[in-house]
Amino acid sequence: MNLVLSRFLAYLHVGLQVALQMFIYPCHLHPQPCHILARIGHTVRLGALLPTRQQSRIQGALNRALVHLRQSGNNFLPYNLSLEVLSRETLNGDPESMFRCVCQDIVVQGVSAVLAFPQSHEELVQVEFMSSFLEIPFISIIEQGEPLKTQNRFHLQMLTRTPPSGLSELLLAVLLKGGWQGGAAILCPEGGNTGMLEELEQRGHLGLNGANWHLWETLNLSRLEENLSEDKVMELLSQLLSRTPSASASSVVLFSSDPECTARVLRSAHQLSGALPPMHWIMGYPLSLDSLHSIGSPLGLLAYGEVNRKPLNFYIRDTLQLIGRAVYAATMVRPDLALIQNMVNCFDKPNKHELPSSGQYLARFLSNTSFTGLTGPVRVQRSLSRVFTSQHYHIWSLQRDPLGQPSWVTMASWQSGHLELEEQGLWPSMTQHHWEDGPEIRLGGRWQAGLPVAGSRLRVVTLVEHPFVFTREVDEEGQCPAGQLCLDPQTNSSEVLNQLFRELEQTNSSSLPNDMRKCCYGYCIDLLEKLAEDMHFQFDLYIVGDGKYGAWKGGRWTGLVGDLLSGVADMAVTSFSINSARSRVIDFTSPFFSTSLGILVRSKDTAAPIGAFMWPLHWSMWVGIFVALHITALFITLYEWNSPFGMTPHGRNRIRVFSYSSALNLCYAILFGRTVASKTPKCWTGRFLMNLWAIFCLLVLSSYTANLAAVMVGEKTFEEVSGVHDVKLHHPSLGFRFGTVRESSAEDYVKKSFPEMHEYMRRFNKPTTPDGVSTLKTDPPQLDAFIMDKALLDYEVSIDADCKLLTVGKPFAIEGYGIGLPQNSPLTRNVSEYVSRYKSDGYMDMLHDKWYKVVPCGKRVFAVTETLQMGIQHFSGLFVLLCVGVAGALLTLLGEHTFFRFILPHLRHQQRFKYWLHTSQKIHRALNMGCDDERKSEVERSDRCSTLCLSENCNLHRLPPSTSSPPPSTSSTSPSTSTTKWNNQSTMAGRETKEQNKRVHFNLETLNSYQLQAPPTRPERGRRGLVGSPPTQLCSNGGPNPSLSLVLSPPACSGLSTPWEEELQELQGRIEEFRGQLRAALARRAELQRTLVRQRLSQSQTSSASNPTANTLTKDINRGR
């Protein structure tokens, strides 16, 4: 039974497996490998090995390819995996540094493949070795040179350019197509590499489609001395062509990348054309379309070049697509091998017999991947380990157009090893004569269309516009130590200019006046010198005669445009704006400088207004400060009155009361830094809040002081113009004056876009930009605004010494500066290519930094001393504020009298409004004290309150006695006499113990006020023995201690008779009696103390008669007495 059951289960398991294989798996090839994706972080990593040379260019192409890949959202990877490229640079380019870079920086990251960019054959061999050793797919993108002939499946080679072997195959197909059986080869100095010539010779011997081509003679000019003369070249060329057999069936292949050498050879061949049989000339190296326009002879000349050339980032994108497709296909079969890289240590390679290598697995899929990419069809050839891409070449022939001018005609195309003719009848025949009507080639003369520009002389016109073109005077010898010599002929006549330049070419010519000679320099002159150096031409420079850019006026074009159209100039180099009107009649290169139109205005010095001192802070800040002040004072008062230690009637023994007015006085004193006496809170909460307010005031005043000079000094205002659509520009009735440069692109823009505005501003237009800027600087200014190119205006602002100019408003009319050329000029493409190259290489940025990095307002530092001197006009508001304060004080005084005479009597009759201690102590006294009490408080303050002293250190203890009589008795001393005697002698007694004086004063007014609020109880009034007792304690905040009964005088103006009047009078008499006794006792004690001091001094004098130190001490004591 068990055996049957086991067999049944086995058959069931096999059946399920077959069902899964037949039905389930074909529908779902592979489930999503979540654990593998989590292990690799949902990322496929690639390495990029950057070369030491041209690293920035290749890194930029790689970044552009990755950005486009992210923007497209399709990296051809499965499961929404992301692609990460790790770029690393080899330090020295040697094998050791490359091995260290790959192993330590790339392989350890677990990369699936590596991109390499070898720049030489040695680097390519190093990549070949690394791929064979590590068994990781390497894809080398080769830009020059021959690929390796290898069958390494781990190293694929993608060519971005056709190698010399492929070019020799193309050239051989062209030669055999023309029916030429052989020929000669000429190598110029810069084309001295014989690799392509050797490939051509080898392939010619092997033949193509049963036809052979033989190389009969070779002339290598690179082996000869440099700067060969034209006669020498002609002699060598004559010897070469005379030795070439079968001239009618032979050709001459010129391998040259030097335009000057090419022109010299072709010119020599033209001069020999009458003495030798005609030859068929072919350019051996591929040329660009722009290079073709510099060659104008001979007719029938064949050349070829690549068209639709793809940039490097296109090849990188196709490479990434190749890897992505291979990873996708491999993941669908074995995701573990395709995504998890087991080669992460160069020194611990996995055993490929025990564990399959992920690199080997991915290499199989790379070899079987093909698609159509950005560079054309992409496929991998296993036998050569190459990734084939498509390059497209055209073969051109120099023919005459219907107008009789030389022009290049496309004869055939070459792609994927096949030559296809465009038109069979156009292919040049073997009997065609090439030189009979060709234009004359002249080295060093003025350039003509159809001739090579190399070695020729161009006539360049310019216009002075800072900082693009400056001029200065020549030296005493009429030369320019710096800059380029240029003429200022003040005319546009071609005959006059030809005559002037012919005179200028004469070395010893002095007929040309120095005032016509100028030295030109600037942004555009540097650009022109760079073009002349790279394109190998010379130039004659002159300034346009009428000083205009060019406009259609009077039935013709003026300025720079007119000189180009009339043929006076071959090129215009300055701040030449590209617009549609000019582009219809002349050609422009690609822009070398981008700018727009701007509006320039001048600042106005305005008088400081009355409220200038308040400008450092916004009005909301001022309101916030004073609101915060009153709120802080309110909270300090609340904290003080709710604290058991506060200066209030409910607090401890205090002389004064802290009210809201005291808090306001304190907060204002802290805010403005006043050093006046003010009450301070006694409770800790109030003091903490007071310190916080002090910190707040410190920070506010510091900010105010720091901004005061910056805001008030040198106040300048500018015309507020928002842009070209501002109402001031479109409504001339407002009297706003503005203009621009006549016949400039700015005037052309305003004329087309705003005709009414242009009609108004015509009267204010100026001939040049400096003239327009100078009208803004005059006093008074002649213009309110000046419209011109922002690039020119920004420079004028930067060099303004007085800092009175400023560009305002939004930029408008975006435009660019280009180099002007005659229409359909063969130089346009070539010059544009160089300009684009300069922009990408950073040369244009260097020029911008050189001519635009000027310190704004350069001379402003010299005027700082004068500017910082603030006059009375800056603080006029403070004087006005002081006057307002005096007037406000008078009004306050009037208000006090009004309150005292009219409001105060009314408030006295209302019981609920009599308690004002929390607000103002003065108002509280005025409401709660009678008239006689108030007068008595003022008259007897120092006598009845201040003279009562309970301290032993009081000055009364040291009053000197009378000189003749003993101390008076207690009964015979009257209060008036004692008071007078104390007042007369208090000054002398105060000198001895000035620092020890401590007085305790009775604030009878406050006590009286408290009595009115809470009268003492009857048992306390009967305790007479406490009146003069030593432990007396008085509360200065208005009331007696519960343990003390003090006799308080009743209100004098009450007019009411009380039962206790007699008792009060009796107590008052006894108090006066005690005062007299106390004064007599204190005076007696002071007399005894002085007598004791004299005795001690007399004894010390007798004992130290012989001691100088004692004598000195005695003198000091007497002097101090």
CB atoms < 10 A from the CB of 747, how many?
Answer: 21
Q: What are phi and psi of 370, to 5 degrees?
A: -150, 145
Coil/strand/helix, residue 529: helix
CB atoms < 10 A from the CB of 139, how many?
Answer: 24
DSSP code per residue over 441-496: P-SSSB--TTS-STT-EEEEEE--BTTTBEEEE--TTS--SSSEEEE--S---HHH
- Cα–Cα distance for residue pair 1077/1084, rounded to 1 Å: 11
Question: Which residues touch 101 (CB under 8 Å, ≥6 apart)?
Answer: 49, 88, 89, 90, 91
CA separation (Å) from 401 to 397, 398, 407, 437, 997?
A: 12, 10, 6, 13, 123
Q: Find, among 90, 141, 85, the residue nearest to 111 by Cα.
A: 85
- Cα–Cα distance for residue pair 239/623, rounded to 1 Å: 101
Residue 745 labelled as part of a binding site: yes
Q: Find, among 263, 752, 760, the residue nearest to 536 by Cα.
A: 263
CA separation (Å) from 565 to 457, 556, 562, 591?
A: 18, 10, 5, 20
For residue 1018, the Cα-to-chain-centroid distance in whole angstroms is 86
- Cα–Cα distance for residue pair 175/177, rounded to 1 Å: 5
Residue 137: cis peptide before it, omega within 30 degrees of 0: no
Question: Which residues touch 656 (CB under 8 Å, ≥6 apart)?
Answer: 647, 679, 921, 1036, 1037
- Cα–Cα distance for residue pair 208/770, rounded to 1 Å: 69
- Cα–Cα distance for residue pair 746/772, rounded to 1 Å: 13
Q: What are phi and psi of 995, to 5 degrees?
A: -80, -10
Coil/strand/helix, residue 888: helix
Give the amino acid at 502. Answer: R
- Backbone φ/ψ region at 584: left (φ over 0), alpha (ψ -120 to 50), beta: alpha
Q: What are phi and psi of 578, to 5 degrees?
A: -90, 120
CA separation (Å) from 518 to 226, 459, 503, 537?
A: 35, 16, 15, 21
- Cα–Cα distance for residue pair 134/862, rounded to 1 Å: 70
- Cα–Cα distance for residue pair 298/286, rounded to 1 Å: 18
Q: Find, among 149, 251, 162, the residue nearest to 204 by Cα.
A: 251
- Cα–Cα distance for residue pair 832/843, rounded to 1 Å: 14
- Cα–Cα distance for residue pair 762/737, rounded to 1 Å: 11
Q: Enter the DSSP assignment of 367.
A: H
Residue 932 labelled as part of a binding site: no
Alpha helices in 521-558 (DSSP H): 523-535
Residue 582 labelled as part of a binding site: yes
Provide the strand spans (E) within 209-361: 214-220, 250-255, 280-283, 302-307
Task: Name residue, tokens 């000198």.
Answer: 991
Q: Enter the DSSP assignment of 112.
A: S
Element (H, E) at 587: strand 586-588
Question: Which residues touch 14 (CB under 8 Å, ≥6 apart)?
Answer: none
- Cα–Cα distance for residue pair 786/773, rounded to 1 Å: 7
The annotated binding site is made up of 577, 582, 745, 789
The annotated binding site for L-glutamate is made up of 577, 582, 745, 789
